[in-house]
């Protein structure tokens, strides 16, 4: 039996779906290229022995918690289990220690990475064809993908130097409402956004929360990189959230282990009309999860739980070396760009204070065709920014990532990038 | 901010969503009840030491495969990874050894349990509001849930003594087409169905495949229990599939470890209009997965991969003790029902030859209210069959499960059940 692509769900022919595929595929086609494209965590400190070690630390913790009942420990770790997860209390403690967030563990759902947390939230918020999502744009490819798969259109909100153009946010919300649409939520990465690396200031955060309350809008706060930033930086939106405007989307892919595929969400909003005991938004999202992935592997959760326990619930403490690496890489890239492009008209870049990414502006439209050429002729990869707009219009901006590279790879990668850019300008 | 239940996705207020919740919740409210309701695998052979042991076996295998490149091994197991999974070749070999299924490993996608495999398939097949799913009914609660969350209506196809009423299947398909609907697929558990325990005969399988080809219908074959059956039993639909009618949904929850949350799908259909290298249905499903859960934890995959390697790729060999347990339990339940209900008018049951379940017919409508009473007054749980019809109409049928119980629990559970049934008849 043959199927037709046009007969399948339309997310499969959307530009975002092609984006994810193209970006994966080009890395495989040019394995000797240096990738300033991949947003993967640094793997220099990865240790396979951590897996059984963390698993065992969590197992012993659980044995204590269950008063030595070994059968209950086996059941918890190996059998089907609680839909909302088993390490919720450890995560709540981590949030208290590292982020100053106070959360009822019952408002947490442990998910298969942050991507499932995002998708569940979008699916729940999509009631009918009037519902729309707002997203500070350019934005993470995965939010476009998840929204498309939840049949939820995305209305872009302009990014500004301080992270979000709040006037545009209000204008987009009001225009949507005037058109009979129902803006449900705004997706934002307040700390070192993907792709721009921008971090929202404290005042912008407070104003954003006030607007959300005024406009009856949820904020979906995605925070995979914040923990590597200066601890004296601004609090998360969730830590400032007094009125339940924020659904917090958490990831352990960068701070824990990508291979565990464990993330979580905080959804402490009350749901009116729901039965007692299911009246948190987290309970409703867990119901969706029970129909999607049933529960998150307790074995994978135990590995993350063990890492939390091994470091006094602090992933900031656990990631001291990684944090230093990312800061060093960022500084090296900023200095390297200055050295290579400082005098070049039409070339500029922003200067994030943390995170995995920055944006490089060039005096030519940098689309997929030029990326192909860059990969083939210069053996360097970067990400055309149009992928973060979910369209196919090349723009004069490249996303550069530097999280997973060693210093020598950064220098060589920037040399190759400079050759490519100078060739295009000539 | 408060949300309203009626403002969220309508799967959250569907009967199926209430079903899953009610059935979970009642087990927690009556912890001392014996559960003839839970479809969980027997955990008497669970061993926590298996987790690091299997992980290590797979790690060594991978090290060999990667010619000793330890950095590549660490990257494969701990970093973000291949969307379609890393143990696809081991699964293909398992299918060859245990099921006589020959499959291109590229047509496999490793998923977060079988439930994600099911959901991805349903989402892909739901293009617009004309698309519908057929399901042999009563059917697994999770298929109703997944379909609802994919906005795909389910048209029931009658079950028959040999597993499926093929005349009804043809009638339902033709009636749907006459109404302008687009029947995309029929969901079926050919081996020891949930809830009925029925196994389709070889001839029924051949006729089902022929009808699917005639009517341009995919068959979604879900097979969590087949491996515990008589190896001389009929082949899977996928093993008989000559024309690519079958998407096979595989689970390791019962044969591997539930806590790994690893399943898979085989989707070897060609997709016309798709670019080269993405022209298998599996490739399209992987694109959806990349927007949903990104990839299945390679740590969890390694645990299952290690179990496959430890037993020569044969889960039939790995489950010799479990198979004996399930057969013993089934025989004990059949004998126990005969002993307790053999003389009782209006009470009857079917006699599956394997699996985790059977159906008990009683001379009264057995709904959730009676289950409450049974739990509170008789301390025994069972599943009202209306949950497998995704409606709220009590019927005269109970699903009994026996997979996870010890012999003494079965006897005691059946005694309590007999007390409850006799009380209702009096």
User: Which CATH class for the A80-317 domain?
Assistant: alpha beta
Give the start-end residues of each E strand in A17-86: 34-35
- The contacts of residue A172 (CB under 8 Å, 6+ apart) are A134, A155, A156, A157, A183
CA dist., res. B173 & res. B181, Å (int): 9
Mean pLDDT, chain B, as a whole number? 96
Q: Which residues pair with A110 in a beta bridge?
A: A264
CA dist., res. B231 & res. A356, Å (int): 53
pLDDT confidence of residue A146: 97
Q: Which pLDDT tens digit goes with each residue over B12-31? A: 999 888 887 788 889 889 99
CA dist., res. A420 & res. A399, Å (int): 15
Query: Hey, are the CB atoms on A5 and B271 less than 8 Å from each other?
Result: yes
Q: Are B127 and B183 in contact (CB under 8 A)?
A: no
Poorest-pLDDT segment among A16-25, A370-379, B183-192, B311-320: A16-25
Tokens read off for B228: 């515990």
pLDDT confidence of residue A407: 98
Which residues between 3 and 42 in chain B have a beta carbon less than 8 angstroms from any beta carbon of chain A? Answer: 3-12, 16-17, 20-21, 24-25, 40-41
- Mind giving me the DSSP string for A67-128? TT-HHHHHHHHHS---TT-S-HHHHHHHIIIII-----GGGEEEESHHHHHHHHHHHHH--S
B154-158 vs B131-137, strand pairing mode: parallel
Q: H-helix or E-strand containing B46?
A: none
**Angstroms from A363 CA to nearest CA on chain B:** 32
Query: Hey, are the CB atoms on A269 and B2 less than 8 Å from each other?
Result: yes
Please tell me which residue of chain B has the smallest CA distance to A72: B43
DSSP SS3 for B120:
helix
pLDDT confidence of residue A20: 79
CA dist., res. A43 & res. A258, Å (int): 10
Please tell me which residue of chain B has the smallest CA distance to A298: B259
pLDDT confidence of residue A293: 97
CA dist., res. B109 & res. B118, Å (int): 11
pLDDT confidence of residue A107: 98
Q: Are B95 and B105 in contact (CB under 8 A)?
A: no
CA B238 to chain CA mean position, Å: 15
Query: Hey, are the CB atoms on B125 and A52 less than 8 Å from each other?
Result: no
| B278 touching A (Cβ < 8 Å) | yes
| B75 touching A (Cβ < 8 Å) | yes
- B247: Cα within 13 Å, side-chain hemisphere: 29
Which residues between 376 and 415 in chain B have a beta carbon less than 8 angstroms from any beta carbon of chain A? Answer: none
Q: How far is CA A285 from CA A42, A149, B162, B326, B411, in A?
A: 32, 16, 38, 34, 38
pLDDT confidence of residue B16: 87
Specify the CATH number of the domain A5-45+320-425. 3.90.1150.10
Q: H-helix or E-strand containing A365?
A: strand A357-366
pLDDT confidence of residue A366: 97
Q: Which pLDDT tens digit goes with each residue over A346-401? A: 999 999 999 999 999 999 999 999 999 999 999 999 999 999 999 889 999 999 99
Q: How far is CA A128 from CA A38, B110, B272, in A?
A: 35, 32, 31
Q: Which of B6, B17, B259 sits opposite A78 (nearest CB)?
A: B259
Which residues between 230 and 249 in chain B have a beta carbon less than 8 angstroms from any beta carbon of chain A? Answer: 243-245
Q: Which of B55, B126, B292 sits opposite A119 (nearest CB)?
A: B292
CB < 8 Å to A258, chain B = 78-80
**Angstroms from A416 CA to nearest CA on chain B:** 25
**pLDDT band at residue B336 using 50, 70 and 90 as cut-offs:** very high
Please tell me which residue of chain B has the smallest CA distance to A114: B293
CA dist., res. A147 & res. A132, Å (int): 9
The three-point CA angle A77-A78-A83 to 5° equals 70
CB < 8 Å to A278, chain B = 21
CATH number for domain B52-317, candidates 1.10.10.10, 2.60.200.20, 3.40.50.1100, 3.40.640.10: 3.40.640.10
Query: Hey, are the CB atoms on A292 and B119 less than 8 Å from each other?
Result: yes
ipTM above 0.90, yes or no: yes
- Domain positions in chain A are 5-45+320-425, 80-317
- The H-assigned helical ranges of B95-235 are 113-125, 141-149, 166-178, 202-215
CB < 8 Å to B16, chain A = 291
pLDDT confidence of residue A172: 98
User: Looking up tokens 């949300």, which residue turns up?
Assistant: B3
CB < 8 Å to A21, chain B = 278, 287
Query: Hey, are the CB atoms on B2 and A271 less than 8 Å from each other?
Result: yes
| A210 touching B (Cβ < 8 Å) | no
**Angstroms from B336 CA to nearest CA on chain A:** 27
Please tell me which residue of chain A has the smallest CA distance to B80: A258
pLDDT confidence of residue B17: 84
Mutation for A interface: B291, B293, B403, most A CBs within 10 A = B291
Q: Are A66 and A73 in contact (CB under 8 A)?
A: yes
Query: Hey, are the CB atoms on A116 and B148 less than 8 Å from each other?
Result: no
| A301 touching B (Cβ < 8 Å) | no
pLDDT confidence of residue A200: 97
Sign, CA torsion B80/B85/B89/B95: positive
Give the start-end residues of each E strand in B309-391: 348-349, 357-366, 380-381, 383-384
CA B426 to chain CA mean position, Å: 37
In this prediction, the residues of chain A whose per-residue pLDDT falls under 50 are none
Q: How far is CA B356 from CA A5, A168, B227, in A?
A: 38, 57, 12
DSSP SS3 for B78:
helix
Torsion-angle region of A192 (φ positive above 0: left; ψ -120 to 50: alpha; else: beta):
left
Q: Which pLDDT tens digit goes with each residue over B234-292? A: 999 999 999 999 999 999 999 999 999 999 999 999 999 999 889 999 999 999 999 99
| A363 touching B (Cβ < 8 Å) | no
Mean pLDDT, chain A, as a whole number? 96
CA dist., res. A331 & res. A351, Å (int): 9
Mutation for B interface: A5, A12, A217, most B CBs within 10 A = A12
Q: Which residues pair with B108 in a beta bridge?
A: B266
| B55 touching A (Cβ < 8 Å) | yes
Give the start-end residues of each E strand in B181-275: 182-188, 218-222, 246-251, 263-266, 270-272
CB < 8 Å to A113, chain B = 293-294
Q: How many CB pairs under 8 A join A and B?
A: 270
Mutation for A interface: B21, B124, B287, most A CBs within 10 A = B287
Spatial CA neighbour of A119 closest among A222, A246, A258: A222
**pLDDT band at residue B138 using 50, 70 and 90 as cut-offs:** very high
pLDDT confidence of residue B418: 98
Q: Which of A2, A119, A272 sits opposite B269 (nearest CB)?
A: A2
Task: Provide the edge-to-edge strand list for the sheet that holds B154-158.
Answer: B108-111, B263-266, B246-251, B218-222, B182-188, B131-137, B154-158
Spatial CA neighbour of A226 closest among A268, A259, A255: A255
Tokens read off for A317: 């403490």
Please tell me which residue of chain B has the smallest CA distance to A215: B1
pLDDT confidence of residue B135: 98
């Amino acid at each position: 039996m043959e199927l037709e692509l046009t007969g399948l769900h339309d997310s499969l022919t959307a530009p975002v779906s092609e984006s994810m595929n193209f970006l994966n595929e080009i890395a495989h086609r040019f394995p000797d290229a240096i990738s300033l494209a991949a947003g993967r965590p640094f793997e220099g400190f990865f240790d396979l022995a951590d897996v059984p070690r963390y698993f065992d630390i969590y197992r012993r913790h659980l044995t204590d918690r269950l008063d030595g009942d070994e059968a209950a420990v086996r059941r918890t770790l190996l059998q089907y289990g609680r839909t909302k997860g088993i390490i919720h209390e450890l995560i709540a403690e981590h949030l208290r220690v590292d982020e100053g967030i106070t959360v009822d563990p019952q408002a947490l759902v442990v998910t298969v990475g942050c991507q499932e947390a995002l998708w569940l939230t979008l699916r729940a918020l999509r009631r009918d064809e009037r519902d729309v999502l707002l997203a500070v744009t350019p934005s993470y490819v995965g939010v476009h993908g998840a929204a498309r798969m939840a049949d939820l259109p995305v209305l872009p909100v302009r990014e500004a130097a301080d992270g979000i153009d709040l006037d545009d946010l209000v204008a987009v919300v009001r225009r949507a409402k005037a058109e009979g649409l129902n803006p449900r939520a705004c997706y934002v990465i307040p700390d070192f956004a993907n792709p721009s690396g921008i971090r929202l200031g404290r005042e912008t955060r407070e104003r954003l929360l006030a607007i959300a309350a005024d406009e009856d809008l949820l904020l979906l706060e995605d925070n995979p990189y914040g923990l590597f930033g200066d601890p004296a930086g601004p609090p998360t939106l969730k830590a400032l959230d007094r009125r339940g405007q924020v659904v917090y989307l958490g990831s352990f892919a960068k701070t824990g282990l990508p291979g565990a595929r464990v993330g979580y969400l905080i959804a402490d909003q009350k749901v009116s009309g729901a039965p007692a005991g299911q009246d948190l938004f987290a309970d409703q999202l867990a119901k969706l999860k029970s129909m999607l992935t049933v529960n998150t592997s307790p074995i994978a959760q135990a590995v993350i739980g063990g890492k939390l326990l091994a470091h006094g619930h602090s992933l900031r403490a656990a990631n001291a070396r990684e944090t230093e690496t990312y800061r060093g890489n960022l500084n090296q890239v900023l200095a390297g760009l200055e050295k290579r492009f400082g005098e070049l008209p039409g070339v500029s870049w922003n200067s994030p204070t943390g995170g995995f990414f920055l944006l490089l502006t060039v005096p030519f439209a940098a689309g997929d065709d030029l990326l192909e050429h860059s990969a083939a002729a210069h053996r360097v990869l970067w990400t055309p920014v149009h992928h973060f707009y979910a369209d196919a219009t090349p723009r004069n901006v490249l996303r550069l990532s530097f999280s997973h590279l060693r210093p020598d790879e950064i220098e060589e990668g920037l040399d190759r990038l400079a050759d490519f850019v100078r060739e295009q300008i000539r």
